[in-house]
Amino acid sequence: MEVIETDVLVIGGGGAGAYAAYEASKVGQTVTLVLKGFLGKSGSTPLAPGAIAAVGPWQHPQDSQDLHFLDTLKGGAFLNEQKLVRIMVEEAPKRVLELEELGAFWERSPDGKQYLLRQGGGHSFPRSPYLEDRPGHELLKVLKGELLRRNVRILENQMVLRIFTEDGQVCGAISLGVYTGDFTLYRAKSIVLATGGASQLYPYFTQDVKNTGDGVCLGWEAGADLMDMEFLQFFIGLAWPKALRGIIVGTLYYSRLLNKTGEQFLKRYDPQRLESSTRDIVSQACFQEIQEGRGTDRGGVYLDLTQNPPGFVKEKLPMIHSLCQQLGVDLEKEPIEVAPTFHFVMGGIRVDENWQSRVPGLFAVGEVAAGVHGANRLSQNSLADIVVSGAIAGRSAAAHASGACFLGIDPAEIAALCRKVEKIAERAPTRPLRLAALKETLQTFMWDKVSFRRSEKGLTEALDEVRRLREEALPCLRLTTRSKRFNRELFEVLEMENLLTFAELVIRSAQMRKETRGAHFREDYPSPDNAQWLKHVVIRKADGGCQLTTAEVDLHEIQPQ
């Protein structure tokens, strides 16, 4: 087993992880970045088509960071941690300029003097720099170059299985090579979790297929508190063909959403903002139209960009335009069918202003961390969040490492984990792996009972299904090969364990929150209840199970009316 000693270990290589590694490397600490895919080609960041919300010198005359702060709180139904939001809105412009200094391109006016800006849903003014429909790709491109230049150690195609602690502090981790099947042990003073969301909980999603909730589960097992796990964001993506269902194919600030009669139906749900409404309202409106029979034959609605000038869509959304042309649709001449899809996790590991969990030395960033987005994330705040949280956590992790020493890792824990994986691989292949059926079962009941509309009955049934799959189905799976080398089935079993844990945490949190707020819609409690539920749901691992409590929301700047 290879042993790597590093001051800072970053787990996950999307925008948040890359920025954390970049920032930690500035102060002379040794930094290792380990990820499950290839750097620059995995995670949700390369798929981000929108923009990065930031109020800087380029701002609209009437815009301000205070207004960005307020927009974010309103969009999050005031369940945001206001200290974290304030940090994001103040730091995001600095990160935009830093990225440009590193070589990132943001679109400018013809004279080159000013950024072109987009206005995402829920924002009061255009405030977000962008590059066509690939700002996330551009961000990762320059960060990858910096990591290579700074000699950050990058280990690709590694799935981290466990974080080890000693005396309540992080001391290391262990990963399994996706191709080699070899274990790698990491001794680390600080660890940053940046593995993204959990797209595989649902059959339709916008994210990378490798997003299986790993970071939240790693933090949970290490003793971190989780918060607001009930808040999962749904958006819209392709309705057809089925193999591509869920992929984002449009940006709503250029679009109109129409039902099968040609009605711009958001006039009935948010007549002032229409398609510039927040994503919880847009996704619920689409769901409602389809449920009431006003959707298309393929179970979607129409996304129409034909009102834009000729050539506009091809210029502003070249990748999306090209994809739709391959599907036989010219977005400049005809609408395309879209349907609700899973998009983003607002909850995650509870962190402080340094993005550190309650476990000393363990940090969480981006979609692994909770607190910034509250009950619903605003469009274009994701890229702002990942660069800010990544930068601050990377800096803080390096500072923590500079004052810490390497701790020992219990050999018995390492041996037990290795043996567990080997036992899965050694299961006799008397019955072919049926993981696809198990995963389909999980995704189906999560979609039916834990997505747009929830109820006590549905959540209870979903929790029973999770327990059944974990206790009865998962142990009975048999791999078709015993080798750990190039054994994708083995990793799917390990990922399924994380997905089932993640699903249970979401369901338990959703059961506890007896109100409707943001992306959490309870049919049996259809209204917000500030008197009882303007608070966080917090989960802590205790006695082998879940301990659910509530915590006060940070309202030190603004109180909801």
Total H helices, total E strands in the chain = 14, 17
Q: How many CA atoms lie within 13 A of 506 on its CB side?
A: 30
What HEC string does 168-184 produce?
CEEEEEEEEECCCCCEE
Looking at 95, 134, 279, 350, which residue is catalytic? 279
For residue 10, what are the β-bridge partners? Answer: 33, 192
Is residue 320 within 8 A of residue 250, CB to CB? The reply is yes
Backbone angles phi, psi at 170, to 5 degrees: -70, 145
Residue of 35, 520, 428, 12 whose CA lies nearest to 230: 520
Residues 6+ apart with CB under 8 A from 71: 122, 123, 124, 378
Residues 6+ apart with CB under 8 A from 431: 476, 478
Tell me if residue 153 falls in helix, strand or coil.
Answer: strand
DSSP conformation class of 471: I
Q: How many CA atoms lie within 13 A of 279 on its CB side?
A: 29
How far apart (Å, rounded) are the C-alpha atoms in residues 475 and 221? 20
Q: Can you tell me which residue has the tokens 């006799």?
A: 428
Structure tokens at 412: 């018995």
Q: Cβ of 549: how many Cβ atoms within 10 Å?
A: 12
DSSP conformation class of 474: G
Residue of 143, 105, 140, 135 whose CA lies nearest to 26: 143
How far apart (Å, rounded) are the C-alpha atoms in residues 257 and 282? 9
Residue of 508, 526, 379, 378 whose CA lies nearest to 452: 526
Backbone angles phi, psi at 261, to 5 degrees: -90, 0
Radius of gyration of the chain (CA): 23
| Alpha carbon 211 to its chain's center | 8
Q: How many residues does the chain have?
A: 561
How far apart (Å, rounded) are the C-alpha atoms in residues 529 and 544? 32
End-to-end CA distance of the chain: 58
How far apart (Å, rounded) are the C-alpha atoms in residues 400 and 354? 11
Decide if 279 is catalytic.
yes
Give the active site residues: 279
